[in-house]
Every structure is written in C-alpha cells, then in structure tokens.
C-alpha cells in the first residue's frame, strides 16, 4: 500500500463538523478536521509518492495535475469559507501525520488567529485594468510624400501613443482609487502575462481587494461605472472569492 501523507487546505475557526459533508478533497478523498484549541485544520490523505518532495517537483510542472489539485483545493476552501472564517493555505502544504499538523497550528496559533480575524466576514475581489491594444499603423494608408512628411507622421504617431498611454494610466488610477475606497485592504499583484491571462494588451493593474461581504456588489458597480467612461482600457472584475491574498501570516 502506498505511503500516505496529510494535505492541509486551510485553517478555520468554529467550523461546524458537518460543513464539509459531501465536499471531496484531492482525488475524491474525504476532508477531515483536525481540531487544535479553537481552530480546525482541514486535511485529507494524499499519496506521498505524488505529494512528496520529488513527486511535487515533477507534478507541479504538469499543468493537468496542477489544475486538478488547485481546483480541489479551491473547492474545499470555498465550502469552508461559506461556513466559517477560513484562512486558506498555499498549495501543497504536506505533513507526515496529524501530530505534525497540530504542532504547526500550535506554533503559529497567534498568527493564525490574527489572519482569521482579518478575513472574517470578508471576501476577495479581483480588479484588473488592461490597456487596449492600439490600432496599428493607421497612418500608413497613404505613402508619405517625402522625408519631411514621414517625420511629421512619425511625430504625430508618437504623440498620439503617448497621450493614449497617459489616458490609460489615468483610467487605471481612477479604478485603483475606487477600489481602495470600497475595500478594507488592497494588494497590488504582479501583472499577468497575456499568454496566461488571455487578455490582450498590457495589464496596467492587477488588484486583489479584501471587501466586506455585503459591500462587494457595490464595489463592482462602482468600478463598472468608472470603466463605462473609459475608452482606452478594459476592466475585468471578478469575485467574490475566498480571501486567498489576505490570509498571509505576518511572520511566516
């Protein structure tokens, strides 16, 4: 029989024992709670061959595996978040046994409590601002009539480009201000590669906002309102999500 290890999804406070009934973990394994003081670690069994150090190195390069694991992790975290304050853990946090999990929760108890308090009753929203790809070479319709004409056109194109850039940045700034106004906390995440995000154009802003549960729709509406008035950017709002970006411990 394959060696087993404990995969920890999240730590919750006051999670009812039946909150995760019917929620499958990785590879369909049942999710169990390991209680320590007033906290619960959400765990399931995984194969140590797959989730041990060598296995993880190999498997994290496999997009299909990564997606399956990430989706299962997200399913568990979502179910828990709906039922109790929950601090999601990073992907693939593995312990050899329940004792290791308890020891870690004990060691980080104060930080976990602080993280749980920070995310209690709040959700994460994502707001991205992407500069629209510029219309290319509109000026090339007619061939330039000479050197001076060519330079004039080049200059005009360059000025138009600069003003479009400035407008897009100002739009991003307005969106950022609105998000900051409506959120408890905001984190600026690295811009995503267009090949990964599927969004064409340069990502000017990739914000994660921690928002009171009942304020999310208002925030989204306000951002929509601003986006409606901006021609040069695309704005993508998504949420509510579990507070992934805001459960970080102060002292990891």
Partner 1 sequence: MTLTSAEGQAQTRIALVDLVDRLLGSGVVLAGDLVISLAGVDLVQIRLHALIASVRAEMAEGRPR
Closer to partner 1 by CB, 64 or 146: give it.
64
Segment interacting with partner 1 (CB under 8 A) among 12-20, 68-76, 151-159, 177-185: 68-76
- Does 178 help bind partner 1 (rule: CB under 8 A)? no
Segment interacting with partner 1 (CB under 8 A) among 13-21, 66-74, 148-156, 159-167: 66-74
For the segment 43-62, give every residue that binds partner 1 (CB under 8 A). Answer: 51-53, 56-57, 60-62
Separation CA 120–CA 212 (nearest Å): 9
- Does 230 help bind partner 1 (rule: CB under 8 A)? yes
Closer to partner 1 by CB, 151 or 189: give it.
189
Other beta carbons within 10 Å of 200? 11
Q: What angle do CA 104, 106, 107 make, to 5 degrees?
A: 65
CA atoms within 13 A on the CB side of 107: 9
- Does 192 help bind partner 1 (rule: CB under 8 A)? yes
For the segment 145-174, give every residue that binds partner 1 (CB under 8 A). Answer: none
C-alpha closest to that of 128 among 245, 5, 29, 223? 223
Closer to partner 1 by CB, 52 or 144: give it.
52
Bridge partners, residue 7, by sequence? 44, 94
Q: x-or-dash pattern for partner 1, window 2-21, by CB under 8 A?
A: ---x--x-xx----------
With beta carbons less than 8 A apart as the criterion, state whether 172 and 233 touch: yes
- Does 220 help bind partner 1 (rule: CB under 8 A)? yes
Give the DSSP per-residue string, 125-144.
Answer: EEEEEEEPPPPP-GGGGS--
For the segment 74-113, give every residue that binds partner 1 (CB under 8 A). Answer: 74, 78, 87-96, 100, 104, 108, 112
């Amino acid at each position: 029989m394959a060696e087993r290890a404990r995969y920890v999804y999240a730590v919750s406070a006051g999670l009812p024992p039946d909150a995760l009934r019917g929620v499958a973990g990785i590879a369909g394994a049942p999710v169990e709670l390991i209680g320590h003081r007033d906290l619960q670690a959400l765990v399931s069994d995984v194969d140590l061959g797959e989730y041990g150090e060598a296995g993880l190195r190999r498997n994290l390069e496999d997009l299909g595996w990564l997606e399956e694991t990430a989706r299962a992790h997200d399913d568990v975290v979502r179910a828990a978040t709906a039922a109790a304050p929950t601090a999601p853990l990073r992907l693939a946090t593995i312990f050899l046994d329940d004792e290791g999990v308890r020891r870690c929760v004990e060691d980080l108890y104060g930080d976990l409590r602080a993280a749980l308090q920070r995310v209690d009753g709040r959700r994460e929203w994502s707001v991205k601002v992407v500069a629209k790809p510029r219309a290319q070479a509109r000026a090339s319709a007619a061939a330039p009539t000479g050197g001076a004409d060519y330079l004039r056109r080049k200059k005009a194109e360059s000025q138009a480009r600069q003003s479009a850039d400035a407008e897009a940045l100002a739009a991003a700034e307005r969106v950022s201000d609105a998000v900051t106004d409506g959120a408890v906390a905001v984190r600026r995440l690295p811009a995503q590669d267009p090949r990964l995000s599927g969004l064409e154009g340069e990502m000017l802003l990739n914000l994660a906002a921690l928002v009171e549960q009942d304020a999310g729709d208002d925030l989204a509406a306000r951002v929509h309102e601003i986006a409606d008035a901006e021609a040069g950017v695309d704005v993508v709002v998504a949420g509510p999500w579990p507070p992934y970006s805001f459960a970080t411990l102060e002292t990891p």
